[in-house]
Amino acid sequence: MAVTLRFSPDDLLRCRFAVSPMLETVSAVRLLSPSEDPGPHRRWLSTVDRQSLDLRPLHLLLPRRGYAPDFLSPPPSGRAARFADELRAVATTDHQQIRRELRRSLADTPGAMESPTGRLLLGEPARVLAMLVELLRRAWEVLVEPVWPQVRGLLDADVSFQSRRLAEGGLDRLFAELHPRLRWGNGVLTREYGDDDHRDLQGEGLILVPSAFKWDQVVVIVDPPWQPAVVYPARGLGTLWQPPASDRQAALGRLMGKTRAALLADLGSPTSTTVLAHRHALAAGTISEHLTVLRDAGFVVGERHRHEIRYRRTPLGEDSIG
C-alpha cells in the first residue's frame, strides 16, 4: 500500500514550501484525543487547559485512520500564510463540498453518523460551517497561538534547510532525506504505508508543508480541487519543547554528552535511527554511533521491526532519566 505522485517536466520546476497555521491547529486538536500518542508533544499537552475546550465535533471528523475533511485545512496559498486568512478560506467553503466531505468522513468511523454529534454535523451546512469555524478559532487561540513563535521558528528553520538542499541538488537531494517514509525515483514520489492512491501531476506542481503537530505521519493530499501537497514532520522536532535540564538530567548530560542524553530521553517508545535523525536534525550515521554507545552501555536495546531496527530504553535507561 502506498500513495504515489508522478511528476511531469513542468512539475519538477513547480515545487514550493509553505507553512500553515490552520494545519497546525487541526493537528494539535487531534493530539487531544485519548487514543493519540502525543510523542514529543507530551510536555506541551500537559500545559493545555482542556476544560476550556469542547471540540467533540472536530474530534469526530479527525480519525487516526480514515478521511478527514479537506476543507478544514486546505493547502496554504503562500509560504507565510496567516491563520485569519486561512480561517476565511474555510468559512467560504461551498456548501455542497461541506456536505460531501462531512458524509465521507463520518462514514469512515463506525457509528459516527448515528451519534448525536454526527447528526449535528449532518445538519444545515451553513450552520454547521459556522460552528466549525468558531471551534477552529477557539482551538487556535488556546492550543497553538500561545506557542506559535516557537512552532513557527521550527517550521521556518526546516523550510530554510530544505530549500538549501533543493537548490544544491534538486529534487533528488531534497527527497533523499526529507522523511524516511518518502521515496523518490524515475520522476515518482512514493509515500509508503497507509492508503493506496495515485495522482499524475499535470503542471500544477507540489506544495511541501512541514508540520510540528503532525509529528508521526506523512500526509499526501491528492484529491481535487486542492493543489497536490505533502505534509511531513519538521526536522528537529525533538528539540521543540526541550525544557531547562533538571539537576539529574544535567548530570546525565555531563556524563554521556548532551546529544546522547537527549536521545535517551526521546526513546520512550521504539524508534528507528532514521526517524531519530530527522527528529533531532542530525545525520543518520551520527545517530547510529550514539545509539551504539548507549546500547553497549546497557541503556537502550534494538529490536527488529519488519525491515528496520527500532531502539527503546532498557530498565537501566528508564532509571537513568528518572
Q: From first to last of its 322 residues, what are the pLDDT tens digits of the chain?
A: 788 999 999 988 888 999 999 999 999 999 998 888 888 898 899 889 888 888 999 999 998 777 889 899 888 877 778 999 999 999 999 999 999 999 999 998 889 999 999 999 999 999 999 999 999 999 999 999 999 999 999 999 899 889 988 888 888 889 988 888 899 999 999 998 767 788 889 888 999 999 999 988 898 888 776 788 999 999 888 888 876 555 566 677 777 787 888 788 777 778 888 778 877 878 878 888 888 888 887 888 888 877 778 888 888 878 777 6
DSSP designation for 80: B
| Beta bridge mates, 304 | 309
pLDDT in tens, 207-255: 999 999 998 889 888 877 678 899 999 988 888 887 655 556 667 777 7
pLDDT in the model for residue 24: 96
Question: Nearest-5° angle of CA 223, CA 224, CA 228?
Answer: 70
pLDDT in the model for residue 322: 63
The amino acid that residue 207 corresponds to is I
Q: What grid cell was written down for 253?
A: 548530560
By three-state DSSP, how is residue 19 classified?
Answer: strand
Q: How many helices (H) and strands (E) does the chain have?
A: 13, 11
CA distance 101 to 66: 12
- The CATH 1.10.10.10 domain(s) of the chain lie at 244-321
| Residue-by-residue DSSP string for 167-199 | HHHHHHHHHHHS-TTEEEETTEEEEESS--EEE
- Rg value, the chain, Cα: 21
Q: 67, 220 in Cβ contact below 8 A?
A: no
Q: What grid cell was written down for 9?
A: 517536466
Is cis: bond before 110, omega within 30 of 0?
A: no
Backbone φ and ψ of 231, nearest 5°: -105, 125
301: alpha, beta or left? (left if phi > 0; alpha if psi -120 to 50) = beta
pLDDT in the model for residue 35: 81
CA distance 67 to 209: 19
CA distance 72 to 74: 6
Q: What grid cell was written down for 211?
A: 508540520
Other beta carbons within 10 angstroms of residue 32's beta carbon come to: 18
pLDDT in the model for residue 296: 80
Q: 180-188, long-range: CB within 8 Å, 24+ apart, which pairs?
A: 180/272, 180/274, 180/275, 180/278, 181/218, 182/218, 182/230, 182/232, 187/6, 187/7, 187/12, 188/4, 188/5, 188/6, 188/7
pLDDT in tens, 135-164: 999 999 999 999 999 999 999 989 988 998
**Cα dist. 42→4, 16, 271 in Å?**
32, 31, 16
Yes or no: is domain 244-321 CATH 1.10.10.10? Answer: yes
pLDDT in the model for residue 146: 93
pLDDT in the model for residue 246: 57
Mean model confidence pLDDT for the chain: 87
pLDDT in the model for residue 94: 93
- The CA-based dihedral angle spanning residues 222, 226, 230, 231, taken in that order and rounded to the nearest 10 degrees: -120
pLDDT in the model for residue 103: 95
Percent of the chain, pLDDT > 90?
Answer: 41
Q: What grid cell was written down for 101?
A: 466531505
pLDDT in tens, 51-67: 888 899 999 999 877 78
